[in-house]
Structure 1
Amino acid sequence: MTTPHRRRQRRHAATLAAAACVASLGLAACTDEPTAPETPAPVVAVSGEFGGVPTLTYTPPLTFPDRRSAVVWEGDGPAITDGSTVLLDLLAEDASDGSSVMNTHDSLPETYTFDETFLGPSLYDLLKGHRAGARLLLTETSNSTPLALVVDVLAGRASGDAVPNDDPALPTVTLGTDGTPTVTVPQDTDPPASVVVRTLVRGDRDQVTDGQTVIVQYTAVAWSTGEIIDTTWSRVRAPFVTLVGDSKPVAAWNQGLIEQRVGSQVLIVAPPSAAYGGTASPWADETVVYVVDILHASTLVAPDVEKQDSDEATDEATDDSK
C-alpha cells in the first residue's frame, strides 16, 4: 500500500494560514475585545445542500464592524473534540465585491486536527462545541477586507447505524472513544480463501462509485499474528486519499468500498492475491484485515459546473464574543 500522506498541518502551513486569515486576517487584532456595532450587522443568506457548494446571497459592498458567527444548521454527527480529526469544506468571499477568496468544494476538503495550535483561535472557536454535519457562517473585516466564510464540517470517523457482525469466523472490531478500531482475529481459524466484505457501520450519504477519489481512515492487521501493519489513526498521520476502481491501494478495496455509502465503516478481509501478493512487501504472503472508515467521496469537477441549491437558510449574525 502506498504510504499515506503525513498529516498536512506542516505541509499546509500556508493553507492553514490562509484559512485562519479567512476567519481572522491578522489575529493580533483579535486580542482586543470587539466592540458592539452601532448599526445592526448585515444579513448574509446561505443556501445550498450539505455536501454541495453553498451560495452566499448579499448585496456588496458590505462592511462587518466586528467578528460575528452564525449557525446555518446544527450537525448531528460525531462531536468535535480536542485532538479529533475533522474535514472542512471552506468557501470564503470578499464581501466588498463578491469575489472568491477560497473554495475547497472544487477539489477536496481540508483535513485538520481539532487543536487551537493548528487551526488558530478563530477557526478553533468557530468549530468548538459543534458536531459533524454542521454548516457555520463567520463574517468579519480585517485589513480593510470584509470576509464571509462558510464552513461545512465533515466527520473524521464513520458515522451511521451499527451493523452487527455475528460471524465467529471473522475478526471482531471494537472502537475507542475517538473511533480508533481494535481488531481481534479469531484464534485457531483459517483465513478465508477469497475477499470477504462486511459493513460494520452503515452511513447515510452517497454511495462510492467507480473512479471516485475517496478519503478514508483505516487500520490494517495481519491475520496470522494480529499485528497492526499500518494505520492512519494517529496525530502524526492524515486520513488516506486514494482513487477507487483502479486497484489502488490494494485490489480488495475496490470490491470493499465501491457501492458503500459515505460515512460507513467496512471490514475487508483480503487474501494475499487481493492484498500485497506479488509485491516486495514483507506482508506479501499475508491475509490482511482492513477496517476502513469512508469519510468522503467525490468525482472532481470543473469549478464552473453548477451545483443545485436547496432551501435557503438565513441567519442574522450573532456576536460570538460574549
Structure 2
Amino acid sequence: MRIRTAATAAAAVLGLSLLSACGQPTPAAPEATGTGAGTGAATSAPADTPNALAAVTATGPVDFKTAPKVDLGRTPISTTSIQRRVLTPGTGSEATREDTVRIRALIYNGTSGKLLDDGYGKGRADEGYRLGRTDLLAGFTEGLVGSQQGSRVAFTIPPAKGFGASGNAQLGVGATDTIVVVADVSEVHRGLTQLEGTGSPSPEGFPKVEFADGNAKAPTVTIPKADAPKKTREATLIEGDGPVVKEGQFIAAHYHGVLWKDGSVFDSSWERGAAADFPIGIGAVIPGWDDTLVGKKVGSRVLLVIPPKDGYGEQGNPNGGISGTDTLVFVVDILDAY
C-alpha cells in the first residue's frame, strides 16, 4: 500500500524536506562555521573522533522560530557509532522508540561542514517522526531517542547508520561521511500501539470484519455475495477520540487489504508485524485513502471499499497482484497523526 519506503529516507537527507515540501527543492543555505568547514569530502574514512560533539555550539533561543547559529567546532567530524549531546535541556519524559517527536533540525555533512538541510528554511515548520519507523535512516531515529520536549540536541549519524558504503551523491554525502544533526524538539508524545474494543458490526452490504485474535493481529474479512460497488464506500467501526487527521500530516496505521473478487489478501501491515507511516491527503497514497481518512480521528477503525478509479486505476498494481478491474477492501486502524 505504501508508495514511499526506503526512498523516503533518501529524500533530502532523512526525509526532512522533500516530503514536508511536497517535492519542492530546498533553497541553498550557508555552511556552518568551524575550522576545516567547506573543504570537501575526504577520499578515505577519517579516524573516529572521540567526543566528536564536544566543540559543537548552537546559540539562540529554542523557540522553534529562530534558527540557532551553529558552530561545529573543528571538522572533519567522523564517528563509527552514534554520539549524542544535549545542548539545551528540555522537560518531561525522554522519548523512546514508542514515541513520536516533532522537531526543527539543521543537518550537516560532518566532513565538509556543509549544511545539507535547513529545517528553519522559508516555508518550513516543525516536522513529526514516529521513532519506531523503519523507513527512515536508522541513525536519525536512534539519535532522537532520549530527547525531551523543549530540548536542543546534537547527534552524529555514522555511515553504517546512514547511507552506508554507497553514500548519497545527490545529497552530497560520501561513503565515509558522518552526518551531524542539531535538532530542536518541540513535542514528544506517544501514539497508540493498537485500538481497544471490538467495534461495531459492518453495515449491510459491506464486508464482514472479525478480529478473532484481538486487535494486535490481522482481521478476517468476508466479502458479501454481491457485485462490488461502483463508488468508494466507507464505514467507521470504531470512533476514536483522538486528534482529527489533517491534510498533509503523516498517519501511523495498521491496515489489512483484500480483493473484493475473492477475498485474497494483497497487503497487510498486521501480517508484517509493524504499523505503517505515510503522508495523507497530498497524493502520496491512492485517492480512496486520501479522500476518506482526512477528517477521521486517531483511534478510529475504518472499513473502506474502493473501486479501481479510486485505487490503482486501469493499470492496477502488478507487484501487488491487483488488476485494473479489482475493487479493494481495507480495514484501517488509525494509531497516530503527526
* Secondary structure of 2:242 counterpart: coil
Give the one of 226, 231, 250 matched to 1:215. Answer: 250
Identify the residue that residue 119 of structure 1 maps to in structure 2.
Answer: 138
CA contact (8 A) 2:235 2:303 kept: yes
Q: 1:172 to 1:71 in 2, by over 3 A?
A: farther
Which residue matches 1:303?
A: none
Q: Which amino acid aligns with 1:172?
A: E
Once the 2 structures are TM-superposed, how far is the Cα of residue 103 of structure 1 from its aligned partner? 0.6
Cα distance in 1 for partners of 2:235, 2:311 equals 17
Q: Shift of the alpha carbon at 1:182?
A: 1.2
Residue of structure 2 equivalent to 1:259: 295
* Structure 1: distance between partners of 2:239 and 2:188: 16
When normalised by structure 2's length, the TM-score is 0.50
Equivalent position of 2:50 in the other structure: 32
Match of 1:7 in 2: 6
Cα deviation for residue 183 of structure 1 reads: 2.5
Using the alignment, how far apart are the partners of 1:124 and 1:15 within structure 2? Answer: 13
TM-score normalized with structure 1 length: 0.51
* SS at 2:97 equivalent: coil
> Which residue in 1 is equivalent to 2:152?
137
Is the 8 Å Cα contact of residues 150 and 187 (structure 2) preserved in structure 1? yes
SS at match of 1:171: strand
- CA separation of 1:15 and 1:171: change in aligned 2, threshold 3 A: same
Cα–Cα, structure 1 residues 192 and 228, in superposed 2: closer, same or farther, change >3 Å? same
What SS does the aligned partner of 2:332 have?
A: strand
Give the letter for the 1:286 counterpart: T
Contact 1:159-1:201 within 8 A present in 2 as well:
no
Answer yes or no: is the 8 Å Cα contact 2:133–2:277 preserved in 1. no
2:85 aligns to what?
A: 68
Figure out how many residues of one structure are paired with residues of the other and give that number.
Answer: 256
CA distance in 2, matches of 1:185, 1:155: 32
Matched residues, percent identical?
12
Structure 1 unpaired stretches of 5+: 48-53, 298-322
- The unaligned stretches of length 5 or more in structure 2 are 18-30, 75-82, 109-114, 157-179, 317-322
Q: Do the aligned partners of 2:3 and 2:284 also contact (CA within 8 Å) in 1?
A: no
Distance 1:247 1:129, change over 3 A: closer
Q: Which residue number in structure 2 is paired with residue 269 of structure 1?
A: 304
Equivalent residue letter for 1:183: P
Structure 1 residue aligned with 2:162? none
| Equivalent in the alignment of 2:62 | 46
From the superposition, tell whether residues 75 and 296 of structure 1 become closer, same or farther in structure 2 (CA, over 3 Å): farther
Q: 2:221 aligns with which of 174, 185, 198?
A: 185
